[in-house]
Amino acid sequence: MDKLAEEYDRGYLDTDPLGIVHGYSAPEDIETAGFIVSAIGYGNVNQIRRNALDALSRAGKSPADFARNLTPERARSIFSGWKHRWTDAEDISFLFRTAGSILNDYGSIGALVEKLDTPTDETVESVLSRFSSFIKEKSRDECGGENPRHGIPCPVPSPADGSACKRLAMYFRWMVRGPDGIDFGLWKFISPARLVIPVDIHVVRMGRFLGLTDRKIPDWKMALEITRSLRRLDRSDPVRYDFALARPGITRQCTHKTGENCTSCMVRDLCRGAGYK
């Protein structure tokens, strides 16, 4: 596993939405871009990258400055025609304006997260739930007290609902871990030991293949189980394996078919993939 993490290093950032966030250097721009990119982090990785780049290019050189000053009227014009699967122009506008509101009220997104956090909690489960609730309230306020619009993808899912919260867990990983060339390490107030792995289709499959989980449903319980397994390998930073675990599937070096490309796989002797589809 350590060799796998060493192999899939920052040289593979162009295969991940996170690579887009590395185009920024100011902390507030990294936070804002990360918030937006992780928000639409569902579906095909190439589609995610393409649509995230489109959204951020419309925001100009500083997504933080753009978000701070964005009005609904201006957003309507700027994001006209933008779409990522079921996330549309109205949704991306809401996400940018929410980021701007947080920056204006708290100074940074991290400052809000720190305010919501309980540092003695074993994991980030509670602060993810509180951050999710904060965004939901923003959406309700905008919709006149009605339920949030169904299209807004992040961070509405919450561990409290049983969701794996892949996109939100991913955003926290980017901001908390590092800096190590992959993640940014901006939020020093959260220990990497408390992070929970973002569970996507690739992590689910690798988690099963390598015996990190026996669960079938990709929910919050699975995320915790995989994280607990990885904690046995690195108690202080279990989620450092996340980027590498997803890479073989994303790059098609692992097709999840027994016997295909297996001879070149570093973890082939540990893989029990023959029993999984």
Give the C-alpha separation, 63 to 152, whole Å: 19
Using one digit for the tens of pLDDT, what is the confidence trace for 206-260? 999 999 999 999 999 999 999 999 999 999 999 999 999 999 889 888 876 656 6
Give the C-alpha separation, 207 to 64, whole Å: 36
Span of 20-24, 31-35, 183-187, 247-251 with lowest mean pLDDT: 247-251
Nearest CA-CA partner of 181 in 31, 9, 3, 43: 9
Give the C-alpha separation, 153 to 36, whole Å: 10
Categorize the per-residue pLDDT at 149 as very low, low, confident or very high, splitting at 50, 70 and 90: low
Give the C-alpha separation, 100 to 109, whole Å: 9
Using one digit for the tens of pLDDT, what is the confidence trace for 25-84? 999 999 999 999 999 999 899 999 999 999 999 999 999 999 999 998 999 899 999 999
Give the C-alpha separation, 58 to 51, whole Å: 11
At 84, phi and psi to the nearest 5? Answer: -130, 105
Q: Does residue 148 surpass a pLDDT of 80?
A: no
Model confidence, pTM: 0.92
Q: Under a CB-based contact definition with an 8 Å cutoff, are residues 8 and 119 in contact?
A: no
Run of H or E residues at 139: helix 125-142
Give the C-alpha separation, 218 to 221, whole Å: 8
Instruction: Please report how many Cα atoms fall inside a 13 Å half-sphere around the Cα of residue 170, on the Cβ side.
Output: 26
Run of H or E residues at 95: helix 89-106
